[in-house]
Amino acid sequence: MNQEPKYPTAICQWPKEDRPREKMMQYGEQALSNSELLAILLRTGTKGQSALDLARKVIHKFAVFGKTKPALSARKSNPPKTSSIF
């Protein structure tokens, strides 16, 4: 799960074909990864992290799309963002 960010900048500066929202509009939600779908719900990232980077961390820490229960200690990473999801 240790994926390096594909782009070091905000999603709005990425090529349009790589942006989650635009990808969904063109190809449908089935073409997106769980991280990309969650990034759309998050809408924004945090300083130094895109929404997609943050989505990957949330999925990894909480295992929301896996078979394990969420790690409650992971809520400390960014309480406003994670609480809005759960």
pLDDT for 3 equals 56
pLDDT over 70 percentage in the chain: 64
What confidence score (pLDDT) does residue 69 get? Answer: 46
Q: For 26-48, how does the pLDDT look when each residue is reduced to its tens digit (9 = 90+)?
A: 999 899 999 999 999 999 988 88
Q: How many residues does the chain have?
A: 86
Q: Model pTM greater than 0.85?
A: no
Asked if residue 37 lies in contact with residue 29, where contact means CB atoms within 8 angstroms, the answer is: yes
Given a cut of 50, whether residue 73 has pLDDT beyond it is: no
Cβ neighbours around 51 below 10 Å, total: 23
User: Which alpha helices (DSSP H) does 10-77 contain, by range?
Assistant: 20-27, 34-42, 51-62
